[in-house]
Structure 1
Amino acid sequence: MNYSRCRRRVIDTVRKWSLKCAAKPALVFRDSLSPSQLPLLVNPWDIVLCSSGTLIACENALVVLVIWQNPALRAPMFLLIGSLALADLLAGLGLVLHFTCAYLLRSDSAQLLTVGLVVASFSASVFSLLAITIDRYLSLYYALTYNSERTAAFTYTMLVLLWGLSLCLGLLPVTGVNCLAEEASCSVVRPLTKNNIAVLSVSFLLLFGLMLQLYVQICKIVMRHAHQIALQHHFLAATPHYVTTRKGVSTLAIILGTFAACWMPFTVYSLIADYTYPPLYTYATLVPATYNSVINPVIYAFRNQEIQKALWLVCCGCVPATVSQRARTPSDV
């Protein structure tokens, strides 16, 4: 009698335990599931980033194609614009690949590589903007000797340095110095650590300060030249040179203001926040930063007269008279 009762209790206990395990398999065996077996939930913000990456890649691919196929666009200025377009193109592809790896391949190693590509590409984009600023300053300060072999050699040197430094920054998330194993060391952008993001943010602030100083010097040079030309006409405000120069200074302000508006929120937020902050804040500051790569072709490539001619030739095989006869003004700097 006692043996039968004990046997019944053991059977009931085993049955209850089995039912309990069958009711919550995801909680019990969650860690043992492969990534492909986990439920797929797509973050809408990641869709926005992927869409931005697609637009960036398509837009800048057109600029790279035009500069690559046109032998006339080999001056230092066009090489730097091509470097900027190539960097933004790779950044757009990096965003798309990161979305693919995160939701399709679902591999930590692949995500490290794509994050490294995104970091290197956006770094190259910012460095290219600095190189373009330096080139514009030199073209005004050394106007008589700008078109020389020394200028071309200096441009190639800048390109090698900026891409080399960008590749070094892109290695930050893939050298093992990441927060995959220790979440407390994470920054607002996983898998970059707080030290990684601090290096990137401080570098951006230094580059922005240098660009600001160079643009101030460019404005001074342009205004001084316009003033000298205006004195020869005896009427400062009435001359077309003064009007176009003022427009050029306004263009420089728009360029620098757009750059700061896109990148400054994310840079400041990266310095003051950590992994405990809501991801919404990270996305809300990161998405506008990607828009800078959307705006860059409009500011630096599509407004350029020579690139406009090449685009018209590629698209319709002819160049409108309004484009071919338009004179270059200080607003084109």
Structure 2
Amino acid sequence: MRAPPPHRRPTAAPPPPHRRPTAAPAAHGPSPLRRGPRAAPAARAAMEAAAALNESGAAAPRLPAGGGNSSLELSSRPPAPAALNPWDVMLCVSGTAIACENALVVAIICYSPALRTPMFVLVGSLATADLLAGLGLILNFVFQYVIRSETVSLLTVGFLVASFAASVSSLLAITVDRYLSLYNALTYYSERTVLCIHTMLAGAWGVSLCLGLLPVLGWNCLHDRTSCSVVRPLTKSNVTLLSASFFLIFLIMLHLYIEICKIVCRHAHQIALQQHFLTASHYVTTKKGVSTLAIILGTFGASWLPFAIYCVVGDPDYPSVYTYATLLPATYNSMINPIIYAYRNQEIQRSMWVLFCGCFQAKVSFRSRSPSDV
């Protein structure tokens, strides 16, 4: 007999090897960077495309964090050119016209030795200020679309503020000169008057230069946008000061022109009484003088008052079209000034004939005009 086999205990099956649980694949599919027979060609193609873009000089594409089929995003893009603003173009055109007109006036006054009286010194100061304002408008356009810099912006704005302030101050000086020529007609051509005129001009240009330096020296809103005005980078307090100065100058000019009208009417009436009758020419002359003064003051007020008022009541959150719509007419004053104060003058007209024709035509009659001629 064969012996029965020895009894063996049943052994349990060996446990399966421990495996780390794997996360479920993303809903959008396997990552292109995952190694595998299928994912390798996709990852290799993406790397080759990135290398090709880098070699071509284009910006390197940035893959989304989750991979997948999301669209590529460029890590850096070249800055888009600034869109040309039609208002800026109109300001540049206005500045070009202003610069050309006033450059001619400055050239004529410098060319003619006879134009050295206090009246022409004042007209030359006005033309110089308007010439600088026109150049400032041109430079502002160039720097805005060619050289973008906060420092350049501050310098340009300060230059414009100083130029326009000098223009308005020169207008006030001309008004004072006209008043003095009528009120003190006997002593007007004395050396004291010449000294007074030069002192006024020195003070006007000094104050204008200080006003232009304020934003450059730190009175700006580059670091505090909440304090900006409708004319960036000027602060609200800065434009309020400029507007208040303009209102004061306008009121002084209004008062002086009213006094000039009274003096003109009184002188014309006295001359007519000395002739023992009032002729029709007396009324025509008086009416013409008053109308000319009204045109001068009306042009100045219509040009600058809207912008000065808007600088006070406007808010920086308002559309910029309001600022442009009030600033553009203000520049027209510098365009009209040469016509009112220079080209109407007989002495300047005669100098223009000599400058452009090279000879003086005797058949054209000119008469000398005094500052009191309005």
What is the TM-score when the length of structure 1 is the normalising length?
A: 0.90
Aligned to 1:96: 138
Taking the aligned partners of 2:149 and 2:167, their CA distance within structure 1 comes to: 27
Residue deviations 1:47-91 (CA, integer Å, cap 9, x gap) = 000110011001100000110111111100000000000000000
Taking the aligned partners of 1:169 and 1:223, their CA distance within structure 2 comes to: 38
Taking the aligned partners of 1:70 and 1:329, their CA distance within structure 2 comes to: 17
Aligned to 2:245: 203
- The answer on whether the counterparts of 1:186 and 1:275 sit within 8 Å (CA) in structure 2 is yes
Residue deviations 1:104-149 (CA, integer Å, cap 9, x gap) = 0111111110111100000000000000000000000110110111
Residue deviations 1:15-64 (CA, integer Å, cap 9, x gap) = 434786843x4xx758xx7xxx3422111100000110011001100000
Residue deviations 1:160-180 (CA, integer Å, cap 9, x gap) = 100000000101221122112
- Aligned to 1:180, the other structure's residue is in SS state coil
- Aligned to 2:146, the other structure's residue is in SS state helix
Taking the aligned partners of 1:21 and 1:101, their CA distance within structure 2 comes to: 38
- Highest CA radius of gyration, 1 or 2? 2
Q: Does 1:194 align with 2:236?
A: yes
Taking the aligned partners of 2:206 and 2:371, their CA distance within structure 1 comes to: 32
- Aligned to 1:275, the other structure's residue is in SS state coil
Taking the aligned partners of 2:138 and 2:71, their CA distance within structure 1 comes to: 40
- Aligned to 2:95, the other structure's residue is in SS state helix
Higher-RCO chain (CA-CA 8 Å, sequence separation at least 6): 1
User: Judging changes above 3 Å, is the alpha-carbon distance between structure 1 residues 179 and 227 closer, same or farther for their aligned structure 2 residues?
Assistant: same
Match of 2:125 among 83, 93, 109: 83
- Aligned to 1:126, the other structure's residue is in SS state helix
The share of aligned pairs that are identical, in percent, is: 62
Deviation at 1:254, TM superposition (A): 0.4
- Aligned to 1:324, the other structure's residue is in SS state coil
1:101-116 superposed matches below 5 A: 101-116=143-158
Taking the aligned partners of 1:308 and 1:268, their CA distance within structure 2 comes to: 37
Match of 2:89 among 47, 54, 58: 47
Runs of 5+ unmatched residues, structure 1: none
User: Judging changes above 3 Å, is the alpha-carbon distance between structure 1 residues 21 and 143 closer, same or farther for their aligned structure 2 residues?
Assistant: farther
Aligned to 1:274: 315
Further displaced range: 241-250 or 184-193: 241-250
Q: Does 1:317 align with 2:358?
A: yes
- Aligned to 1:41, the other structure's residue is in SS state coil
Taking the aligned partners of 2:182 and 2:227, their CA distance within structure 1 comes to: 46
Further displaced range: 116-125 or 176-185: 176-185
Q: RMSD between aligned alpha carbons?
A: 2.4
Taking the aligned partners of 1:285 and 1:141, their CA distance within structure 2 comes to: 36
1:70-219 superposed matches below 5 A: 70-219=112-261
Q: Does 1:256 align with 2:297?
A: yes
Q: Does 1:2 align with 2:22?
A: yes
- Structure with a larger share of its residues in helix: 1
